[in-house]
Amino acid sequence: MTTTSSDTEQVPVAAPLVGRPDVNRKRMARLGWGFTTPSLIVIGLVTIFPIVYSVVLSFSAATVTGNGVALNGFTGSNYSLVLSSSKWHYALGFTIIYTLVTVLVELVFGTLIALVLERLTAGRGLMMALLLIPWSMITVINAELWGYIYQGTYGVADAILNAVGLGHPNILGQSTPAIIGLMIADIWKTTPFVAILVLAGLVMLPGDIYEAAEVDGSSGWSTFWRITVPLLRPTLALAVMFRVLQAFGLFDLPYVLTNGGPGTATTSLAILGYNVIFKNLSFGPGAAVATTSALLVLLGCLLSLRTFRVQVGKED
Amino acid sequence: MSDVSMDKVNKVYENGFHAVKDMSLDIADGEFMVLVGPSGCGKTTALRMVAGLEDITSGILRIGGKEVNDETPKERDIAMVFQNYALYPHMTVAQNIGFALKLRKLPKNELDAKVKEAAGILGLTDWLDRKPGQLSGGQRQRVAMGRAIVRQPSVFLMDEPLSNLDAKLRVQMRAEVARIQRQIGVSTIYVTHDQVEAMTMGDRVTVMRDGTLQQVDTPQNLYDSPDNIFVAAFIGSPAQNLYDATVGEGARSIKLGSQDVELPESVVLKRPGLRAYAGKEVVVGMRPEHLRAESSTSTGPKIVGEVDLVESLGSELVVHFTIDAHRVIAEGAVDKDEAAALQSGEGVARVEAKTPVKPGDRVTFSVDIEDMQFFDPKTGLAVRG
Ligand SMILES: Nc1ncnc2c1ncn2[C@@H]1O[C@H](COP(=O)(O)OP(=O)(O)O)[C@@H](O)[C@H]1O
Ligand SMILES: [Mg+2]
């Protein structure tokens, strides 16, 4: 349910105000601020403050002391340290490739599944419920599950690979297989989410436009590429943005499955930041990793929106 | 350009609803055929079967003499204007109009020329680069028309294309659509629930009711000699005055409530079937303009009514009056409010603007008895030959 402004304007107010829209609106606005201020303060404390604090931290020569962290004044050295570090370069490259591959595959599979679901007349609800099982699973549990599947002696994936004559490859013990394994686990979990999102977009598309296209002589792929995809653009943009945000912050899957390994093969930016802060206790550089990651993901989202040339929520 | 022929076409929906029943209709090459009837009578279903958007349950549909039951809309070469226009929101006006040609892989310069030509006919030349979202209702309607005419299809199908426009624009577009159709000369089936649209636009008009075809004729013939009570009540605005009446002995008079209206010999000669109704009940129909509030000195058949309401249209007066006869209401032909008002035996006359009538007056109307229509009360069919 969305509430439009005209709905709120119809909320009954004290009698003397009725019929004086200007006074009315000002009063209502003040009332609105009154209601929202407490929650804004709470939100500010739990989200804005940590963000600001980590930015401050990233510009500080912070050290751990007996009773917490001392900022010790401004410095730019955290950033120069991070930006020139080969570990950061690798983590950045890995995170970007991981994001691109998973988002692309999820988008393609998700759209295909949505197209199939849309054509289903019976059992669509059941199919959707089944599809949502992976998505509703907590990531850590999902990771544990795939951990068993990839396990080198009794894992299902291992058994299958063995059966086709590939021996016991120890999937999570080698760089490239581990990366692919992580991607598969992510795709398995998140494709249904993309599918449901795209399906919601699909069922909203007006049916008579498709009939018009049919009368105009369009069919199959031509209709898909010339009508469906363009009309679905806002939905696809939304899906991509969600997924880019999530994938770029990749943390719990490698944390559980590979702990960033083997070596540093699956060390994402988030894992790197975590390690720097909580293992090395280097608060300044760790905060710099976090801050640059946040800026990069913002850039990534803007770029993906640009690609789809839409402002979400705005037609044309 | 081709003729369209429907031969005993039926539509039964999956839920068992029989929406179109044994519809047989021939539309000549280049003809403008209007399909009219109350909402839910099956007009859209019939049109969609011709388009190929709905399966034909039984019967044969031919376009240009060839059976097309199993052909796609593309193969039938039809073009359709949808009620909500169904424009492609992400394409410009030019792209919307040119879409079908682009799919047919027409060379770019030819395509542009055709789009420009269609836009010229419709007055859209200045809007070619706009998206549908930036256009007014009337302009969108024109784009929908443009998309249809640019292809020079075999058949045009239009489903209430003007119903989303405001009253003034509707009247204007009515004339324009008819003009364009004549200009390009493509056989057209035009669906509407508005009998005024039907009367003003169609070469011929098909009246439908509950999935069944009622009458197919020119607008004038539908008006002057409807085949049944439904058509008589549905066509014409204000609606025709239909009353239960009794034919007098020897068919010399009509008893309308407590009034006796003289029936000249000539009327019966033109409708010999009336003789069989002597002493029996009949339904009589009188068009509002066939009741004249003339000076009481004139001779001829008359009825007396009590005036309830006088509406001045400037050029004429619409006089609502009551007589003590029972008003006949053809279900579905008039809307519910109107039907309720008619229960009381109300009639309507259109009289000259200067006639001195006011509510409460008892007015004597002379009846153009030659134009009176007669129907069998049981079958509803016109009494003629
Ligand atoms: N897909 C459908 N399934 C079942 N009944 C339908 C379907 N489409 C239309 N109908 C019914 O068929 C009748 C005729 O509908 P329609 O052709 O749209 O009428 P009209 O265009 O004259 O208003 C209506 O009673 C409608 O409810
Ligand atoms: Mg309809």
Strand, coil or helix: A1: coil
Please report which confidence band the pLDDT of residue A5 belongs to, taking 50, 70 and 90 as the band edges: very low
CA–CA gap between residue A168 and residue B354 (Å, rounded): 106
Q: Examine the domain organization and report whether A237 and A187 are in the same domain.
A: yes
Looking at residue B280, what is its pLDDT?
Answer: 92
Q: Do A69 and A150 belong to one domain?
A: no
Of the two residues A114 and A148, the one the predictor is more confident about is A114
In percent, the amount of chain A with pLDDT more than 70 equals 91
Does residue A1 belong to any structural domain of this protein?
A: no
Say which residue, A67 or B128, is predicted with more confidence. B128
Same domain, A43 and A190: no
Of residues A208, A214, A233, nearest to B84 (C-beta): A208
User: In degrees to the nearest 10, what's the CA dihedral of B237, B238, B244, B248?
Assistant: -90
| DSSP letter assigned to residue B83 | T
- Asked if the Cβ–Cβ distance from A218 to B88 is below 8 Å, we say no
Instruction: For the sheet with B373-375, list strands across it.
Output: B259-262, B253-256, B241-247, B281-286, B373-375
Residues of A in contact with B100 (CB under 8 A): 216-217
* CB neighbourhood size of A73 (10 A): 9
Residue B17: CB within 6 Å of ligand 1? yes
How does residue B8 score in pLDDT terms, banded at 50, 70 and 90? very high
Distance CA A234, CA A232 (A): 6
Q: Are residues A174 and A307 in the same domain?
A: yes
Q: How far apart are CA A187 and CA A69, in angstroms?
A: 39
Contact at 8 Å (CB) between A222 and B102?
no
- Give the containing element (helix H, strand E) for B67: strand B66-67
Tell me what the pLDDT averaged over chain B comes to.
90
From first CA to last CA, the distance across chain A in angstroms is 23
What percentage of chain B exceeds 90 in pLDDT? 66
Give a yes or no: residue A15 inside a domain: no
Among B94-98, B119-123, B278-282, name the one with the lowest average pLDDT.
Answer: B119-123
- A172 and A105 assigned to the same domain: yes
CB atoms A212 and B84 under 8 Å: no
Neighbour-count burial for B45-78, b at 16+ CB within 10 Å, e otherwise: bbbbbbbbbbebeebebbbbeeebeeeebbebbb
Q: Per mean pLDDT, which range of A3-12, A84-93, B103-112 is the poorest?
A: A3-12
B:143-182 residues touching chain A, CB 8 A cutoff:
147
Q: Which residues of B touch A209 (CB under 8 A)?
A: 86-89
Distance between Cα B127 and ligand 1 center (Å): 35
Residues A145 and A246 in one domain: yes
Query: For residue B107, what pLDDT is reported?
Result: 93
pLDDT at A6: 44
Domain extent at residue A209 = 86-315
* Residue A7 lies inside a defined structural domain of this protein: no
Q: Are residues A62 and A163 in the same domain?
A: no
C-alpha to C-alpha distance for B37 and B35, rounded to whole angstroms: 7
Instruction: Give the closest-approach CA distance of B70 to chain A in angstroms.
Output: 15
For residue B332 and ligand 1, the question of a CB distance below 6 A is answered with no
Q: What is the pTM of this model?
A: 0.80
pLDDT confidence of residue A8 = 43
pLDDT one-digit tens code per residue, A286-308: 888 888 888 888 888 888 777 77
Which range (A43-52, B102-111, B205-214, B284-293) has the least confidence? A43-52
Question: Do B73 and A215 make contact, defined as CB atoms within 8 angstroms?
Answer: yes
For residue A120, give the CATH number of its domain: 1.10.3720.10
> Is the interface score ipTM higher than 0.90?
no
Instruction: Indicate which of B47, B54, B82, B87 best probes the interface with A, i.e. most A CBs within 10 Å of its own CB.
Output: B82
Digit-coded pLDDT (tens) for A171-222: 777 888 888 889 998 999 999 999 999 999 998 888 899 999 999 999 888 9
Domain-located, residue A259: yes
**A216 closest CB neighbour out of B53, B100, B133:** B100
* Structure-token pair, residue A25: 């609106």
In a domain, A21, yes or no: no
Give the per-residue pLDDT at A302: 83
**How many angstroms separate the CA atoms of B3 and B64, rounded?**
5
Task: Identify the residue whose C-alpha is closest to ligand 1 atom 3.
Answer: B13
Same domain membership, residue A140 and residue A37: no
DSSP-derived pairing of the beta strands B259-262 and B302-312:
unpaired
The pLDDT value recorded for residue A80 is 79
CB atoms within 10 A of CB B106: 16
Write the CB contacts of A170 (distance below 8 Å, at least 6 apart in sequence).
A152, A158
Hey, whose CA ends up nearest to atom 21 of ligand 1?
B44
**Which of A83 and A251 is assigned the larger pLDDT?**
A251
On the question of pLDDT at B202 being above 80, the answer is yes
Question: Is residue A58 located within the same domain as residue A144?
Answer: no
More confident residue, B10 or A155: B10
Task: Report CA(B139)–ligand 1 centroid distance (Å).
Answer: 28
Same domain for A58 and A156, yes or no, is no
Share the mean pLDDT of chain A: 82
* Residue A179 placed within a domain: yes
Least Cα distance to B231 among B212, B214, B243 occurs for: B214
pLDDT digits (tens, 9 = 90+) for A225-276: 999 999 998 888 888 888 888 888 888 888 888 887 788 888 888 888 888 8
Tens of pLDDT along B335-356? 766 666 666 678 899 988 888 8
Instruction: State which of B10, B44, B80 you would mutate to test the pocket of ligand 1, scoring each by most atoms of that ligand within 8 A of its C-beta.
Output: B44
- Name which of B263, B266, B305 is nearest B284 in CA terms: B263
Last residue of a domain, one of A15, A47, A77: A77
Domains assigned to chain B: 4-232 (3.40.50.300), 238-375 (2.40.50.140)
The number of distinct structural domains making up chain A is 2
Query: Do the beta carbons of residue B122 and residue B155 sit within 8 Å?
Result: no
- Among A36, A53, A77, the domain boundary falls at A77
Q: Are residues A98 and A150 in the same domain?
A: yes
The mean-pLDDT minimum among A159-163, B122-126, B236-240, B266-270 falls in A159-163
Torsion angle, CA of A4/A9/A13/A16, rounded to 10 degrees?
170
Is residue B44 within 6 Å of ligand 1 at its C-beta? yes
Taking the C-alpha atoms of residue B275 and residue B283, their distance in angstroms, rounded to an integer, is 14
- Closest partner residue to A316 (CB to CB) among B74, B87, B133 is B133
C-alpha distance from residue B333 to each of A180, B103, B207 (Å): 70, 43, 11
Cis peptide before B301 (omega within 30 of 0): no
Looking at the complex, does the CB of residue B115 fall below 8 Å from at least one CB of chain A?
no
Q: Give A9 or A200, the one with higher predicted confidence.
A: A200
B19 lines ligand 1 (CB under 6 A): yes
In a domain, residue A32? The reply is yes
pLDDT at A145 over 90: no
3-state secondary structure at position B346? strand
Model confidence at A19, pLDDT cuts 50, 70, 90, reads low
First to last CA, chain B: 38
Do A105 and A244 lie in one domain? The reply is yes
pLDDT of residue B286: 94
Q: Could you tell me if residue A269 is inside a domain?
A: yes
Cross-strand bridge partners of residue B80: B157
| Cβ pair B72:A316 closer than 8 A | no
State mean pLDDT over B86-97.
Answer: 94
